[in-house]
Chain A
Amino acid sequence: MHELSLVKSILEEAVRLAEAEGAERISGIVLQVGALRQVVPELMKFAFEAASQGTPAEGASFEWKVVPALVLCDNCETLYSPSSWVWDCPACGMLKGSLQAGDELVLETVELAGVPAEAPR
């Protein structure tokens, strides 16, 4: 259950951005979460709602995109999506590969409301 500490990092980054842009509040957060990243997005959403109380992010939407796992076979370099906890290459059967995608935990976008219009040049 490390979701709360992760949410605090997200909140800090979003608040830093909101302050830098002079925004009134943060209205939305979008994450990329890898399928093999051991976090529970639903728990993060719940933790975000709790941790954002009284901050400029209170009431912000919290969404995520799941990034499917992709493994590159060490033997024949086939790129495949593992169907279970075993990474067995569909082309050659090799059990060793390296993860190319699916381990992400990335803050993709922050949506800000009440950003002052850029000063006319």
Chain B
Amino acid sequence: MKFNVVQKVMKVNDELAAHNRTRLVEADVIAINMMSAPGSGKTSLIEAAAERLKGRLALGVVEGDPETTLDAERISRCDVPVVQVQTAGGCHLEANLVGQALDHLPLQELELVIIENVGNLVCPVEFDLGETVRVAVVSTPEGHDKPAKYPKLFRKADLIVLNKIDLLPYLEFDIARFLDYLGRLNPEFTLIQTSCATGEGIAQWTDWLWDTASVPAIP
């Protein structure tokens, strides 16, 4: 006997994401889902932002990694409340894990929460966490073709950060082609170019965070 179910497989995740979103809106907190490949510099960008926004913007961080608390240790040295989520091998964060992490952050005191997803350009894109905006980070050693190879992430991103631009003289990274790929995915993309090594572009990155956090949280 056949039963028509017609139900989203990720119904539970979507419901939990909606719950997270409601909690964040009620606390007037903007949440950023930060996605990239492993090693592109997400944690370094958060550290740089925490440094510059100290005393100006109440920041909290959720760190997602398959193992270790190394990233949370780095962020806590910046005097920022941080929760480490260990996915035990999982390739992405899901809304239930983020919900549990939010329980451990002082949401009422915060203005901005950065959720650093597990390093991966495919799976995190498929899971709504309840975030307000999405940031995609790509670093120059990864190559200029990443937007074309992983279109879904870059098409959906509210901001794209090109990190490690200090390495451009040593790489065959073709920035014109990178920009062309991004433009074909979204003609209105926003790009910030940064180097955590030299500090170039970090002011723009933190200004963007500041501006984003200043917009009222509307679901």
Is A101 engaged at the interface, CB distance under 8 Å to the other chain?
no
- Complex interface bits, B1-14 against A, C-beta within 8 A gives 1, otherwise 0: 11111111111100
At the interface, is chain B mostly helix, strand, loop or mixed? mixed
Measured CB to CB, the nearest residue on chain B to A111 is B2
- Complex interface bits, A77-118 against B, C-beta within 8 A gives 1, otherwise 0: 000000001101000000110000000011111111101000
- Complex interface bits, B143-169 against A, C-beta within 8 A gives 1, otherwise 0: 000001001100000000000000000
Is A38 engaged at the interface, CB distance under 8 Å to the other chain?
yes
Alpha-carbon distance A28/B94, docked complex (angstroms): 28
- How many interface residues does B have (CB within 8 Å)? 30
Is B53 engaged at the interface, CB distance under 8 Å to the other chain?
no
Residues A95 and B5 in contact in the complex (CB < 8 Å), given A5-B90, A6-B10, A85-B151: no
At the interface, is chain A mostly helix, strand, loop or mixed? mixed
Is B184 engaged at the interface, CB distance under 8 Å to the other chain?
yes
Alpha-carbon distance A107/B8, docked complex (angstroms): 6
Number of A-B residue pairs having CB atoms within 8 Å of each other in the complex: 78
* Residues of chain A contacted by B10 (CB below 8 angstroms): 6, 9, 105
Interface bracket on A = 20 to 34
Is B125 engaged at the interface, CB distance under 8 Å to the other chain?
yes
- Complex interface bits, A16-33 against B, C-beta within 8 A gives 1, otherwise 0: 010001010000100100
Residues A106 and B9 in contact in the complex (CB < 8 Å), given A5-B94, A86-B185: yes
Measured CB to CB, the nearest residue on chain B to A4 is B90
Report which of A5, A86, A95, A105 forms a contact with B8, defined as CB distance below 8 A.
A105
Report which of B5, B11, B126, B183 forms a contact with A2, defined as CB distance below 8 A.
B126
- Are the CB atoms of B123 and A96 closer together than 8 Å? no
* Residues of chain B contacted by A6 (CB below 8 angstroms): 9-10
Residues A86 and B9 in contact in the complex (CB < 8 Å), given A21-B3, A115-B1: no
* Residues of chain B contacted by A86 (CB below 8 angstroms): 184-185
Residues in B lying within 8 Å of A, measured CB to CB: 1-12, 90-92, 94, 122-123, 125-127, 148, 151-152, 183-188
26 contacts between A and B (CB under 8 A): A1-B91, A1-B123, A2-B123, A10-B9, A13-B5, A17-B3, A21-B1, A23-B1, A28-B2, A31-B9, A38-B122, A38-B123, A38-B125, A85-B185, A95-B185, A105-B8, A105-B9, A105-B10, A106-B6, A106-B9, A109-B3, A109-B4, A109-B5, A110-B5, A111-B2, A111-B3
Apart from A2-B127, A9-B10, A107-B6, 13 more pairs, CB < 8 Å: A37-B126, A38-B152, A86-B184, A95-B185, A105-B10, A106-B6, A106-B8, A107-B5, A108-B5, A109-B2, A109-B3, A110-B5, A111-B2
